[in-house]
Amino acid sequence: MFENVFDMNERKSFLKKHITGITIGIVFGLALVIYLLSMLFTGDTGYVIVLVDGQEQGIYSLHEDREIRIETDRGDNLLVIGSGQAYIKEADCDNQVCVHTQPIKATGGQIICLPHRVVVRLKSKEKSEIDAVTN
Amino acid sequence: MQSRTKKIAVLGLFISLSLIFSYIESIIPVPLVVPGAKLGLPNALIVLVLYAYGIREAMVVNVARIFISGFMFGNLFSIVYSLSGAVFSFVIMILAKRIKFFSVKDVSILGGVFHNVGQIVVAAFLVSGMSVMAYLPFLLVAGVVTGLCNGILAEIIYKRGIL
């Protein structure tokens, strides 16, 4: 009789005792799944989009090493694409924020040069930027 | 009548304490993988009030904290931003508290996790892009860690029964 009651308590408390671990496990599992899925979708990071004044100026592959001079009415930027990443090497603006921005290599990464209204952004696929603006 | 007065005073103290926590957090940068990830110490207080007093009281402290700290250390945008996380996390915590086998710790963990989920959903709307979702896995893990810390803290204080 006594043992039976003890057993009942034991079983009831199993969930209670391990619920924290279970909760953490589920969330970590979920995080891992989402992480792997996002890796799957952004695996083919590959395009550098250059926007001037919000208008698409050019699109380049991230895997071809080259230097691109971005010319705007307000000034020029020198974009360098090499070894799977992109960065601004030179800019004839005052603040040089874009030059100091870390090289971008993952989808969604972007470099912004406000004085010249230039945005350099990485996209996974070669589709129009309009999609991203409207959704 | 006396207990009512006491409650008002204690809740007032909780609001000011959570403001101090918000302030401390805003001046200490936490070097984590995710930019802007914070410990969310005020949430420990919210959990504590939720358990020691109830839903209404916790909501008052929560909303007051967000607005006051928003006006003091942030701007309108940061109010909207933290409100989105707080509302999301609060609703989840109320629901989780109703489930019997969840302890204070678990409620806090879920609160922390969904705080981040709520914020990233709003961020996705504001920045108008799914690219912020790349942060989600890291924010989930961060939510668990911070939620656990806050939950342990809240549980210790709650179990002392001083409230």
Cross-chain Cβ contact A24/B103 below 8 Å: no
Are A94 and A128 members of one domain? Answer: yes
Cross-chain Cβ contact A27/B141 below 8 Å: yes
Q: Helix axis angle, B55-73 relative to B41-52, nearest 10°?
A: 160
Are A51 and A100 members of one domain? Answer: yes
- Complex ipTM > 0.85: no
Are A105 and A55 members of one domain? Answer: yes
User: Which residues in chain B have their CB less than 8 angstroms from residue A27's CB?
Assistant: 109, 113, 140-141, 143-144
How far is the alpha carbon of A132 from chain B, nearest alpha carbon, in Å? 6
Q: Which of A104, A63, A109 is nearest to A83 (CA)?
A: A63
Are A76 and A129 members of one domain? Answer: yes
Contact indicator for A135, A54 with CB cutoff of 8 Å: no
- What is the chain A residue with the closest CA to B131? A108
Are A73 and A124 members of one domain? Answer: yes
Say how many domains are in chain B: 1
Say how many domains are in chain A: 2
pLDDT of residue B114: 93
Q: What is the pLDDT of residues B74-128, one digit of tens each?
A: 788 778 888 888 999 999 999 999 988 888 999 999 999 999 898 888 877 776 6
Extended strands (E) in B102-163: none
Q: Which of B44, B160, B109 is nearest to A19 (CA)?
A: B109
Domain of residue A32, residue span: 1-42
Q: In what order do the strands lie in the sheet with A76-82?
A: A66-71, A76-82, A85-91
On the question of pLDDT at A128 being above 70, the answer is: no
- Which of the four pLDDT bands, split at 50, 70 and 90, describes residue B57? very high
What mean pLDDT comes out for the span A36-46? 68
Are A29 and A74 members of one domain? Answer: no
User: Which residues in chain B have their CB less than 8 angstroms from residue A16's CB?
Assistant: 101, 103
Residue to mutate among B115, B116, B131, with most A CBs inside 10 A, is B131
On the question of pLDDT at B1 being above 60, the answer is: no
pLDDT of residue A135: 36
Are A51 and A106 members of one domain? Answer: yes
Residue to mutate among A27, A40, A112, A135, with most B CBs inside 10 A, is A27
Domain of residue B106, residue span: 2-160
Q: What is the pLDDT of residues A43-99, one digit of tens each?
A: 555 788 888 887 888 888 888 888 888 888 888 889 998 887 888 888 888 778 888
CATH number of the domain bearing residue B72 = 1.10.1760.20
Are A53 and A31 members of one domain? Answer: no
Are A62 and A95 members of one domain? Answer: yes
Are A71 and A97 members of one domain? Answer: yes
- A71 forms beta bridges with A76
* Number of CB atoms found within 10 A of residue A133's CB: 10
Are A29 and A83 members of one domain? Answer: no
